[in-house]
Amino acid sequence: MIEKADVAIIGGGINGCSLAYELSKKGKDVVVLEKNYLASGATGRCGAGIRQQWSTKENAILAIKSVKKFECLADELGADIGLRQGGYLIAIHDEEEMKQAEKNVKMQRSLGLEVEILDEQGIKEVVPILDVKGMDAIAATFCPTDGHADPFKTTYAYANAAMKNGAKIYRFTEVKDILTKDKKIVGVKTNRGEIKTSIVVNAAGAWSKEIAKMVGIELPNMPYRKEILVTERMKHIFDAMVISFKDGIYFSQQEEGQILGGIPSPEEKPGYHTMPTFSFLRHMAKTLIRYAPVLKHINVIRQWTGFYDVTPDARPILGEVDVEGFIQCNGFSGHGFMLAPMVAQLLAELIVDGKTSLPIKNLLLERFKKMKIERERSVVG
């Protein structure tokens, strides 16, 4: 193992690997420390969606810029990432949701995003298997450039490109402590030895809270178990990701033909519980069939769980905190995969140039103490 690095990134998920790539591109010596294998946490368990339809302007800008990067990523990294832009169809169930949707669409369009409100007929045209009555929907918003990518392929594409640039990626390497002196980072201690560094990035997903405790920083993030299932493969029948904020459901048909989707359990409590539940399976099956009755004949082949690393306003925590050189890259609240390309660029700018091309003031940890926070409303799963 190497003895020193410019930057040590804790966590080998999409955010750790994309940041390693962006930093290595800027000539930094980077090391990624992953306690398990790459994408073994939330990244490899996620719904793979990429969405630009947000209620807060900052999230929308981040997502739009991320999609621009996703569109060029395969060429830039020299590897397929399984990107498919089939759009996101967001159900609108009542007048109140309609008002919020109109507000969101107006804001999103002002940013140049192609997004429209569909009536019943429009919904059936985009996803013919949907039962609009069963969904209890009155309309939907649709953005055709939303979509999904393969989280495994994308993470490995970033990791391999980073390693080509000289980054070191250590799997099965657990950070045991973060070393500081006079409130400055001086190194990290792992189960395989120590690495001297002045910058540590906390990209440990649901375990970020534990990592921050090593330097006495208390993060407000809470880990929430989220459940997901996948069906057998079937003929390709729809392109869009279908979601509903009211029901919490999301589902899409993936590259290979399987339907992948999730829904929150009403009684879910925070904590590191990993067991999948039968109540999820029932709830998801019932809701999915209500949305798309034809799917009742399709077999579920697997269910699993992963964690959302949830902040009080459902937005990420980025940037430096009280300890000099300790950078946060966590709290993605279920949206880490889709935001990663742009977040990685911004944090690389912050670390190398000391400033970012987009303001991240409202994403700093200190917002929870000083500012009135604006909660992101557009959350599913």
Partner 1 sequence: MIVICRCEDVTEEDIIKEIKNGCTTLEELKQRLRLGMGPCQGRTCMMLALRILARELEKKAGEINLPKNRPPVNPVPLGLLAGEND
Closest residue by Cα to residue 316 from 68, 42, 28, 26: 42
Which of the residues 167 through 186 are near partner 1 (CB under 8 A)?
A: 171
| Interaction of residue 44 with partner 1, rule CB under 8 A | yes
**Identity of the residue, 75 or 278, whose beta carbon is nearer to partner 1 in the bound complex:** 278
For residues 47 and 152, is the Cβ–Cβ distance under 8 A? no
Which of the residues 213 through 242 are near partner 1 (CB under 8 A)?
A: 231-233
SS3 379: coil
Q: CA-CA distance, 10 to 208, in Å (whole number)? A: 9
Closest residue by Cα to residue 258 from 227, 236, 288: 236
Structure tokens at 142: 């649709």
For residues 243 and 137, is the Cβ–Cβ distance under 8 A? no
| Interaction of residue 288 with partner 1, rule CB under 8 A | yes
100, 165, 265, 303: residue in contact with partner 1 (rule CB under 8 A): 303
Closest residue by Cα to residue 295 from 359, 232, 217: 232
In the complex, the smallest distance separating the C-beta of residue 38 from partner 1, rounded to whole angstroms, is 8
Q: Per-residue contact track with partner 1, 260 to 279, x per CB under 8 A? A: ----------------x---
Q: Which region, judged by CB under 8 A, interacts with partner 1, from 21-29, 32-40, 86-94, 306-314?
A: 32-40
Structure tokens at 45: 């368990």
302, 355, 361, 375: residue in contact with partner 1 (rule CB under 8 A): 302
Going by C-beta distance under 8 Å and a sequence separation of 6 or more, which residues neighbour residue 65? 341, 342, 358
Cα Rg, the chain, nearest whole Å:
20
| Interaction of residue 164 with partner 1, rule CB under 8 A | no
In the complex, the smallest distance separating the C-beta of residue 232 from partner 1, rounded to whole angstroms, is 5
**Identity of the residue, 3 or 232, whose beta carbon is nearer to partner 1 in the bound complex:** 232
| Interaction of residue 289 with partner 1, rule CB under 8 A | yes
Going by C-beta distance under 8 Å and a sequence separation of 6 or more, which residues neighbour residue 352? 23, 26, 28
Q: Which region, judged by CB under 8 A, interacts with partner 1, from 59-67, 214-222, 238-246, 295-303?
A: 295-303
| Interaction of residue 368 with partner 1, rule CB under 8 A | no
**Identity of the residue, 296 or 372, whose beta carbon is nearer to partner 1 in the bound complex:** 296
Q: Which region, judged by CB under 8 A, interacts with partner 1, from 82-90, 174-182, 217-225, 289-297?
A: 289-297
Angle at 172 between CA 166 and CA 173, to 5 degrees: 70
Q: Which region, judged by CB under 8 A, interacts with partner 1, from 108-116, 187-195, 302-310, 329-337?
A: 302-310
**What's the Cα-to-Cα distance from 377 to each of 52, 60, 68, 100, rounded to whole Å?**
13, 12, 23, 9
Going by C-beta distance under 8 Å and a sequence separation of 6 or more, which residues neighbour residue 126? 87, 89, 118, 140, 142, 238, 239, 240
| Interaction of residue 38 with partner 1, rule CB under 8 A | yes
Which of the residues 343 through 362 are near partner 1 (CB under 8 A)?
A: none
In the complex, the smallest distance separating the C-beta of residue 120 from partner 1, rounded to whole angstroms, is 24
In the complex, the smallest distance separating the C-beta of residue 306 from partner 1, rounded to whole angstroms, is 12
| Interaction of residue 80 with partner 1, rule CB under 8 A | no
| Interaction of residue 152 with partner 1, rule CB under 8 A | yes
**Identity of the residue, 13 or 187, whose beta carbon is nearer to partner 1 in the bound complex:** 13
| Secondary structure (H, E, C), 45-103 | HCCCEECCCCCCHHHHHHHHHHHHHHHHHHHHHCCCCCCECCCEEEEECCHHHHHHHHH
Q: Which residues bind partner 1 (CB under 8 A)?
A: 37-40, 44, 152, 156, 171, 231-233, 256, 276, 281-282, 284-286, 288-289, 295-304
